[in-house]
Amino acid sequence: MTKRIVAYSRLKPPHLDQLRQRFHVDYFEALEGADDPAFREALGQAHGIVGSSLLITPELLDAAPHLEAIATISVGYDNYPVDELTRRGILLCNTPDVLTETTADTGFLLVMAAARRAVELAEYVKRGDWRESIGEAQFGSDVHGKTLGMIGLGRIGAAVARRGALGFGMQVLYSNASPKPELERELGANRCELDELLAQSDFVCVTVPLTPETTHLIGRREFGLMKRSAIFVNIARGKVVDEAALIGALENGEIHAAGLDVFEQEPLSPESPLPHMANVVALPHIGSATHETRDAMAQRAVDNILLALDGRRPISLVNETAWQPAG
Ligand code: 8YV
């Protein structure tokens, strides 16, 4: 029997071809939402799902009684009910590693852009306001030699910290569930409590995954602990931060600036003041968005689903306990 796949993120012809060689593929190039009747019907027969950015609910899983595996084209899996998938024996595969360096580049882009006011000053040039040598009013802050506080030191956090320590001579502080002795040796990083990190850091960069424990991890109290000169960078998930508190901290000068790739609501609401604030660099969730990396992520998702539906262990499996090797 030819197994059936539902794919709903933009996939390039080579990736779709690979899937079509093995499966019947129902492809939704621009899926508007999970309520699409054709999508629901396809789910009813699907053994596998390949996609990203759609909230998968237990109710949606009820509509997919034959589902064996999901391959998300993302490293983050906060859109998936992991325990529920495991309970149903459905494998969830993600795409770590292939996006680590690109996402860390985005983190450092935000560190640099916010510190040196690159976007604001590029706009100043574009408007034709550059009529004489710039003065103190346009000066930024140094990055090199400063203290970088990493909230989360997983793969992406470590790659940002490496850029800071080895590329910019920064002192690295980190808060993380477990200690990272190898990174401490490699980068001279020091683990500390979150409150201490917030109080000591010139740059605070968030890279923790979104979980119930990390939701609104950074709020009013935490912004209040940061230096008034602090630059806050978020490349994790918007909901890790209480965005209203962030806006307040930026408006009241409790922190100096922010570089944001992620927001509580994406796409960002037109009403949000954030992109209009001079001390904010706001990007449209581009963490992994390069040609090379998005291709590698799509390929990883394709490889994962091919293996999973073949009864073989996928390369990157989120819910290990759902895995039952054949025989
Ligand atoms: C995704 C991301 O590509 O991998 C993640 O977790 O946040 C991005 O790299 C994004 O979710 C769109 O697919």
Q: What is the CATH number of the domain that holds 66?
A: 3.40.50.720
> Is 327 a domain residue?
no
* Domain shared by 233 and 303, yes or no: no
Token readout for 302 is 């394709």
- Between helix 13-22 and helix 291-308 the angle, nearest 10°, is 0
Among 8, 49, 52, say which to mutate for ligand 1: greatest number of ligand atoms within 8 Å of CB. Answer: 52
Largest CA distance in the chain: 76
> Is 315 a domain residue?
yes
* Domain shared by 66 and 211, yes or no: no
In whole angstroms, what is the distance from residue 223 CA to residue 76 CA?
A: 25
What pLDDT is stored for residue 83 in this prediction? 97
Please state whether the peptide bond connecting residue 267 to the residue before it is cis, i.e. omega within 30 degrees of 0: yes
In whole angstroms, what is the distance from residue 272 CA to residue 250 CA?
A: 13
What pLDDT is stored for residue 43 in this prediction? 98
Residue with the smallest CA separation from ligand 1 atom 6 is 76
* Ligand 1 center–CA 121 separation, angstroms: 29
Domain carrying residue 165: 100-282
> Is 30 a domain residue?
yes
* Domain shared by 312 and 257, yes or no: no
Residue with the smallest CA separation from ligand 1 atom 4 is 74
Q: Is the CB of 53 under 6 A from ligand 1?
A: yes
Domains of the chain: total? 2
> Is 85 a domain residue?
yes
* Domain shared by 92 and 112, yes or no: no
Per-residue pLDDT of the chain (327 residues; tens, 9 = 90+): 899 999 998 899 999 999 999 999 999 998 989 999 999 999 999 999 999 999 999 999 999 999 999 999 999 999 999 999 999 999 999 999 999 999 999 999 999 999 999 999 999 999 999 999 999 999 999 999 999 999 999 999 999 999 999 999 999 999 999 999 999 999 999 999 999 999 999 999 999 999 999 999 999 999 999 999 999 999 999 999 999 999 999 999 999 999 999 999 999 999 999 999 999 999 999 999 999 999 999 999 999 999 999 999 999 999 999 998 876
| 237 annotated active-site | yes
* Domain shared by 183 and 232, yes or no: yes
* Domain shared by 273 and 300, yes or no: no
* Domain shared by 120 and 212, yes or no: yes
Q: Encode 113-179 in three state secondary structure.
A: HHHHCHHHHHHHHHCCCCCCCCCHHHCCCCCCCCEEEEECCCHHHHHHHHHHHHHHCCEEEEECCCC
* Domain shared by 137 and 275, yes or no: yes
Q: Is the dihedral of CA 193, 177, 203, 222 positive or negative?
A: negative
Out of 29, 266, 292, 312, the active site residue is 266
What pLDDT is stored for residue 10 in this prediction? 85
Residue with the smallest CA separation from ligand 1 atom 2 is 74
* Domain shared by 203 and 60, yes or no: no
Q: Is the CB of 75 under 6 A from ligand 1?
A: yes
Element (H, E) at 89: none
Q: Is the CB of 51 under 6 A from ligand 1?
A: no
Q: Is the CB of 293 under 6 A from ligand 1?
A: no
Q: What is the pLDDT of residues 68-83, one digit of tens each?
A: 999 999 999 999 999 9
> Is 148 a domain residue?
yes
* Domain shared by 109 and 253, yes or no: yes
Residue with the smallest CA separation from ligand 1 atom 5 is 74
| 15 annotated active-site | no
In whole angstroms, what is the distance from residue 187 CA to residue 324 CA?
A: 39
Q: Is the CB of 94 under 6 A from ligand 1?
A: no
* Domain shared by 274 and 313, yes or no: no
* Domain shared by 308 and 318, yes or no: yes
In whole angstroms, what is the distance from residue 14 CA to residue 170 CA?
A: 42
Backbone angles phi, psi at 92, to 5 degrees: -120, 120
